[in-house]
Structure 1
Amino acid sequence: MEYSTDLGRRVLLALAGVALLVVVGLVLSEFIPTLVFTIFLYYASRPIYRRLGKLPLSESYLKRAMPYQKQVHAAATIFFFLLPFVVLVGYTLILIVPELQAFFGEGGLGAAYLSQFQGLQGGSLPGPLADLGVGELLTMGPAELLALLQNATVQSWLGRVSDTIIDSLSLLTSLLLRVFIMFAGTYYLLTDGPRLVGWFLDTFDGSGVLREYAAAVDDELSSILFGNILNALVTGVIGIFVFSLYNLVAPSSVRIPFAPLVGALTGIGSLIPVVGMKIVYLPVAVLLAITAVVTGQTAALAWVALFLVVTLIVVDTIPDFLIRPYVSGDLTHVGLLMFAYILGPIAFGFYGIFLGPILLVLVAQFFRIIVPYVITGTVDTTQTSLSDYDATES
């Protein structure tokens, strides 16, 4: 009887734990994009955070800051690296949105949103207000103003304006909250993430297979999120500014159409294996050269050559040279990774470019490490990849 009572108590506690996990999962499911971006920001900033910990500092500083060394380094990483990076990417997106609307024509989200405020413009005000000037409104008495506000047309217009303002404030508040969650989450992942993972593995990983799995996933995510995706973002930002500056000085016949959009596509193109961003800027160069020849301005071909040289050096080579040394993971097949970059945004939306590779790494390492352990009961610590099974070597 004592054993049964103890077993029943354990079952109830296990069910309570499952219920808690379900509730936590439902809450976190509302913030999946925010959590995905937090993971990306963590891996993007972790090399900087670790580099700060290796800086040669004075002994007096170390004595004062030792109890809070991790917190100071994490705050410095976020403030001096992560925050400017996010602001720069946000400003870049602001430059891209008008280009997208111009590319796809009128009727975009921006036009639809601005149409909510059409009533604020003089010609679109409701009849009773359109017939009055600002001076007449200011000199109205309380009775006249009340009668004007009781007009059905004016009330409908004011309702639309107030709804738009409230929606805008709600959207801004939600955005600021999610940005705060991303930065706070990144801060605590930098300071306490390794300790939390270590506690979990020490408590629940008796076989060592979870530790092997966690190490492999961490290495690959560090390679993909910090190396490949950060390289794409940096390349896109550089491309946008370089192409925009080029358009300021180049003749009109060889200016890049939709320069910010082409710059962003250049960054995305860097994710494609082998050809990379050349799939974007080489066709653009060919288009500019054809335009110069067709319009009879062959002298402008020198500007096309300048565009190619600057793009090759500043956009293509420099970001790759600075970031690629940090890319060390080679366990994820590049073809699968390419499909993850393509299918992720299609399946999940804009944040799928991060979530797709994350899911790919989790699944790939699960089959590489966990599945053999489930089948054989032993942990294989050898790091194998698809390249180890090349048919040409057998």
Structure 2
Amino acid sequence: MTPRFDRRVDRLRAALWVAAVVILGVLLFVAYSYAGTVILALFIYYVTRPIYSRLRRVIPSRTLAVFVALVVVTLPAVVVFGWTLALALQELFRFAESGALDPYRGYLQPYIDFSTLAVDIDTLVREGLRLVESGPPTNGYLQGALDALAVSFGLLAGVGIHLFIALALAFYLLRDDHRIAQWTRETFGLGGTVVETYVRTVDRDLKNVFFGNILNAFLTGAIGTVAYTLLDAVAPSPVVAIPAPALLGMLTGVASLVPVVGMKLVYVPVFLALLARGALDDPAALWFPLAFAAVSIVIVDTIPDLVLRPIVSGRTLHVGALMLAYLFGPLLFGWYGVFLGPFLLVVVLEFARVVVPWLLDPERDVTTTLPEFRTVEGNEDGVRDRSLVDPTEEGAPSK
């Protein structure tokens, strides 16, 4: 090659590097603008991946297996959780409107916008009932109902769009993650390097966090919400009625993340309060606090702990660090901080465990310092689980 040709090639390569940096910047900007949607898609991916891996044994088509995993398993879970969250938010709005939070508004205002907290869903119901009772609108009831409907529709439409994008991203991640991993390994030559070890370890921890801890909390919260809502429907008197049953159920799910005591932090004080109120004001209704305790211990606490946790959990991270991530994530980033906080914890923690020792001693074999890494290819049942860094899947033709 002539020096002139070499200079042209160098200029072309430099221009392409600039273009690559610009494209990467655009992609990062889009991901930042839709950070909540992207991290939700990642959560759906890790929750669905173990189920999808088992469906691939009986469904030869990769695309069909992903579709079945998302539609049959994930979408119903999203609907149940959405319904549970809606009930809990409704209870929270009523609790806020009652004035009970007024002494704490100054402390909560940086994190909760009380001016927009109570989304006017109840207004739509009230205006609809007024229309039914009073007949044709004559004094602005219809306009009030339409305004409430517009607010509710706009909110639901926004949530629906972001959920659709998250499901679409999760769909293509599930179907094509092996192709992305193979292209990355071959293009950048990452096979057998510290980068591959780091990505594998992060992938394992994210699976344990998302599919294990958070899913266990969500399912426990859903069980608690349904159980307490149904139990409250048969309360013999308002004196011993369960306070905010849906919100209480969600709090049990959050408390399940706390080791040892867990949900007892929530339902034991409520049981004692109901027992005291019943003994003082309505002794004939004392059976209801006892029924509440039985439902809490058996259905809300014991069954999820014995059935769900062994299936979905596999702790490889410090529980205290996870609790801090769950606590500070929503405070720093908003609703999606529930997912982004643990994600950042895993990324930073495994960087310190895997990459930093290698930076200090490049001759060090990182895998020998991570004994748990040797089992990343299989679970406790000896079933091989797919990973973002697996280039192929045995016996699984690409469709």
Pairwise same-fold verdict (TM > 0.5) = yes
Does residue 1:71 correspond to 2:63, yes or no? yes
Match of 1:198 in 2: 182
For the 8 Å contact 1:224–1:327, the answer to whether it is kept is no
Instruction: Choose from 264, 268, 274 the match for 1:278.
Output: 264
Match of 1:240 in 2: 225
Q: Deviations over 1:56-84 (max 9, x none)?
A: xxxxxxxxx64xx1111111111111111
Deviates more, 1:23-32 or 1:245-254: 245-254
Larger Rg: 1
Gaps of 5+ in 1: 56-64, 124-132, 138-153, 387-394
Q: Describe the shift of the 1:77–1:290 C-alpha distance in structure 2 as closer, same or farther (beyond 3 A).
A: same
Aligned length: 345
Shift of 1:166: 6.5
Shift of 1:108: 6.3
State how far apart, in whole Å, the 2-side matches of 1:12 and 1:6 are. Answer: 10
Correspondence list, 1:323-362, <5 A: 323-327=308-312, 329-362=314-347
State how far apart, in whole Å, the 1-side matches of 2:199 and 2:279 are. Answer: 57
State how far apart, in whole Å, the 2-side matches of 1:329 and 1:10 are. Answer: 46
Match of 1:31 in 2: 34
State how far apart, in whole Å, the 1-side matches of 2:202 and 2:185 are. Answer: 14
State how far apart, in whole Å, the 2-side matches of 1:96 and 1:227 are. Answer: 23
Does residue 1:264 correspond to 2:267, yes or no? no
Shift of 1:209: 1.3
Q: How high is the TM-score relative to the length of structure 2?
A: 0.77
Shift of 1:357: 0.3
Match of 1:184 in 2: 168
Does residue 1:43 correspond to 2:46, yes or no? yes
Shift of 1:94: 2.1
State how far apart, in whole Å, the 1-side matches of 2:282 and 2:123 are. Answer: 46
Which amino acid letter does the alignment assign opposite residue 185 of structure 2?
L
Gaps of 5+ in 2: 99-113, 373-399
Higher RCO (CA 8 Å, separation ≥ 6 residues): 2
Q: Describe the shift of the 1:14–1:164 C-alpha distance in structure 2 as closer, same or farther (beyond 3 A).
A: farther
Q: Deviations over 1:308-341 (max 9, x none)?
A: 2221221112223333234564432111111001
What secondary structure sits across from 2:367 in the alignment? coil
Match of 1:367 in 2: 352
Q: Describe the shift of the 1:114–1:89 C-alpha distance in structure 2 as closer, same or farther (beyond 3 A).
A: closer
| 4+ residue segments displaced more than 6 Å | 114-118, 133-137, 160-167
Which amino acid letter does the alignment assign opposite residue 329 of structure 2?
G
Does residue 1:102 correspond to 2:94, yes or no? yes
Which amino acid letter does the alignment assign opposite residue 16 of structure 1?
A
State how far apart, in whole Å, the 1-side matches of 2:65 and 2:186 are. Answer: 26
Shift of 1:102: 1.4
Q: Describe the shift of the 1:385–1:262 C-alpha distance in structure 2 as closer, same or farther (beyond 3 A).
A: farther
Q: Describe the shift of the 1:98–1:330 C-alpha distance in structure 2 as closer, same or farther (beyond 3 A).
A: closer
Shift of 1:239: 0.5
For the 8 Å contact 1:331–1:385, the answer to whether it is kept is no
State how far apart, in whole Å, the 1-side matches of 2:272 and 2:137 are. Answer: 59
State how far apart, in whole Å, the 1-side matches of 2:359 and 2:27 are. Answer: 28
For the 8 Å contact 1:223–1:326, the answer to whether it is kept is no
Does residue 1:317 correspond to 2:288, yes or no? no
State how far apart, in whole Å, the 2-side matches of 1:303 and 1:385 are. Answer: 51
Which amino acid letter does the alignment assign opposite residue 28 of structure 1?
A
Which amino acid letter does the alignment assign opposite residue 318 of structure 2?
H
Match of 1:211 in 2: 196
Q: Deviations over 1:18-64 (max 9, x none)?
A: 11111111122221111111111111111111121234xxxxxxxxx
Correspondence list, 1:283-294, <5 A: 283-294=269-280
Match of 2:366 in 1: 380
**Structure with greater proportional helix content:** 1
Shift of 1:188: 1.1
What secondary structure sits across from 1:346 in the alignment? helix
Match of 2:393 in 1: none
For the 8 Å contact 1:246–1:255, the answer to whether it is kept is no
Shift of 1:168: 5.7
Q: Describe the shift of the 1:214–1:326 C-alpha distance in structure 2 as closer, same or farther (beyond 3 A).
A: farther
Match of 1:390 in 2: none
State how far apart, in whole Å, the 2-side matches of 1:292 and 1:165 are. Answer: 41
